[in-house]
Structure 1
Amino acid sequence: MKNALHITRLRSLLNLVENNHTKQLTSQEVSETTFYSYRNINRIFRSVFHKSIGRYIKELLLQEAARQLVYTDLPITDIAFELNYSDLQAFNKAFKREFGISPSKFRQQDQENMDAWIKAKLPEEIKQLDDLNYEIKSLPATRILYLTHYGAYQAPEIEDCWDALIEYADQQQLLQEDTKYLGEMLDDEEITKDENCRYNAAITLSPDAEVEVTGFFATKEIASGQYACFMHKGDYSKMDTLYEQIYLHWIVKNEFEVGNLPILEFYLSDEETTPKEELLTEIYIPII
């Protein structure tokens, strides 16, 4: 899509939907945000994402429902009503259509799978878990410039996303000595289909930085929060092993509950001058 106006208005629509998908958005709100009729912006949205606006909102809602089933003890009825389903039957039907299983069985299956995974992993991983260090950190609210990649978190296209972000930030003279580079994982790969996962390649901005936002580039403020922070040393492609150890460590030895904020990865090394085996990444897992 090369029409700059379409891109800017589509970016506004994505911001509206992703920040308000748990509310019941009206066609008027969509039209007022994009300056297009709902019918026309829906056509543009479908041509880019191969689904309607309504379908995208429903996917986000059901992914949030699945996340709450996995990471909280909230009753299923409460989850359904919180996500604007008028009755439990409608929620159960929509959830089963999306995931092929009822909400209650989804929650039960996840716990059974986790128990089996722990049992299989624990004997071989226990020494590594004893050596796994982390810190509890509170991050302040942070303003960022970002570009979103839609797809699997390990997809090579993420590099293109980063190249575009750095070039754009450099053109606007936003790269400073204290600029931090981070990735924001908005979805859970165990719940969300690979093609629907959202990854924000981002740089931090000073509070008074003036940014001209065009196209799919956007700014926002990451909310303050508490995190368990782990350090990874080595190739980015090998971080999955540490993620496994993190969640196993929590389950076996701690009583942390995963928070609602996205997982963050802060990239501390210069890839141009640092060997892959020496790359340092801080992984921030939100906790409550």
Structure 2
Amino acid sequence: MAAKNEPYRPQIDAVLHRINLIVEQDWSFESPDVFNRQVSVNELARLSAMSVRNLHIVFKAYTGEHLHQYINRLRLERAVGMLQSGYYTNERIAGYIGFANVTAFYNAFKKYFGVTPARAKRGTLAFGATPAVLMHAFNLAYSIREIHEKPLLFLSHIGDYKFTNTSAFETTTWDALYEYANCHNLLPEEEEYWGICYDDTGITQPDKCRFYACMTVNTPVESRLKSRIKSMILPRQLYAVFCHKGSYTLLDTFYDAILKNLPQEYLLGEGFILERYLNSPAVAPEEELLTEVWLPIVTR
């Protein structure tokens, strides 16, 4: 965001979080009018305590996209992931992401990506290749765990996931979250540091990837509109948990390996994909870094 718009960043973060929650939701059982009302500029302007005009201006300055271009891109990129999973029909996807019918979805998809949903299902929309690493170089052991509910503080980031793996990013996010929690008596008995990765780097352009740096707290709290540090509840979900040891730069390839090694009795669910950081680059050498990857799963 341009410097003159920085005072509005917490408000834009609130809007982006609301959009993320809406896009992640299953809209199959609601009319398209309900989805459209939820993402209307009047509703988002009310949330941000800005005028409609100012929201349009500041949102574009921060994200580089017009508000509804941004929303449309997110739900169409979500559609690509659903197509490539092979579990969903076009009709199911159209309803899930809030389109009125499959024709409207088909036309919007082809206009944005330049290919039909069927073509995207067969191929890939990758923006960059992941270096080839032998799968047997990774430990693919997993455990099945469930999160019931977990209150979090978070700071949101839009940009290349590579930056989230740096010590500079750690200082401005997780260190800031710890300081905030300490000052507001929110520290749990043992804090946990998590990342929420919203986007697939094979679908979303690297500079548009969404990431939340999160820290557990001892009790749920309400987000403050004018604070960049927001709060949320991680919902109940079953996960397959894998542990990666080594450089964060290999995480993309690790994801490729573990997604091919999901337990046979489960399918990849639609919940958050999580990373839990068991140590830090500030105290551990790169080859000793431990990162748990939590894949949401549902029973076949």
TM-score (norm 2): 0.81
Q: Which residue of 2 aligns with 1:102?
A: 116
Is residue 2:278 matched to residue 1:276? no
Quick check: 1:260 aligned with 2:270?
yes
Deviations 1:36-70 (A, max 9, x none): 22222111111111111111110111012112112
Q: How far 1:4 sits from its partner (Å)?
A: 6.5
Q: 1:164 to 1:155 in 2, by over 3 A?
A: closer
Deviation for aligned residue 1:194: 1.2
Indicate how the Cα distance of structure 1 residues 4 and 215 shifts in structure 2: closer, same or farther if over 3 A, else same. farther
Change (3 A) 1:171 1:106: closer
Out of 105, 110, 113, the position equivalent to 1:91 is 105
* Contact residue 184 and residue 262 of structure 1 kept, 8 A: yes
Q: Counterpart of 1:44? A: 58
1:27 alignment partner, one of 41, 62, 76? 41
- Secondary structure at the residue paired with 1:155? helix
Structure having the higher helix fraction is 1
- CA gap of 1:97–1:202, structure 2 versus 1, over 3 A, is same
Q: What residue is the counterpart of 2:212 in the other structure?
A: 200
Q: Which runs of 5+ in 2 are unaligned?
A: 28-34, 127-131
Indicate the structure (1 or 2) with the bigger Cα radius of gyration. Answer: 1
> Are the structure 2 counterparts of residues 36 and 213 from structure 1 closer, same or farther at C-alpha, using a change threshold of 3 Å?
closer
Which whole-Å CA distance do the structure 1 matches of 2:222 and 2:53 have between them?
34
Letter in 2 for 1:260: E
CA RMSD of aligned residues (A): 2.8
Distance in 1, Cα, partners of 2:280 & 2:73: 37
Tell me the residue number matched to 1:140: 148
Q: Relative to structure 2, which stretch is displaced further, 42-51 or 207-216? A: 207-216
Q: For 1:169 and 1:211, locate their aligned partners in 2 and report how far apart those are by CA, in whole Å.
A: 16
Paired residues of 2:150 and 2:234 also in contact (CA < 8 A): yes
Change (3 A) 1:54 1:95: same
2: CA distance, partners of 1:213 / 1:178: 27
Residue 255 of structure 2 aligns to a residue whose secondary structure is helix
Q: Deviations over 1:55-113 (max 9, x none)?
A: 11101110121121122522202211332323333322221222221001211235xx9
The aligned counterpart of 2:11 is 9
- Length, aligned pairs only: 274
Q: What secondary structure does 2:153 align onto?
A: strand
Q: 1:267–1:281: 8 Å Cα contact kept in structure 2?
A: yes
The amino acid of 2:254's aligned partner reads: L
Instruction: Work out whether 1:239 is the aligned partner of 2:251.
Output: yes
Higher mean C-alpha deviation, range 66-75 or range 178-187: 66-75
Structure 1, unmatched stretches of 5+, are 114-120
Paired residue type of 2:143: E
CA distance in 2, matches of 1:101, 1:189: 19
Counterpart residue number, 1:219: 231
SS across alignment from 1:148: strand
Aligned to 1:116: none
- 2:162 is the counterpart of 1:149: no
Give, in angstroms, the shift of residue 27 of structure 1: 2.8
For residues 280 and 161 of structure 2, the distance between their equivalents in structure 1, rounded to whole angstroms, comes to: 20
2:269 is paired with a residue of what secondary structure? Answer: coil
Q: Does structure 1 retain, via aligned residues, the 8 Å contact 2:223–2:230?
A: no
Are the aligned partners of 2:243 and 2:293 in contact in 1 as well (CA < 8 Å)? yes
Contact 2:163-2:169 at 8 Å conserved across structures: no
Mapped to 2, the partners of 1:203 and 1:101 lie a distance apart of: 40
- Counterpart of 1:117 in structure 2 is none
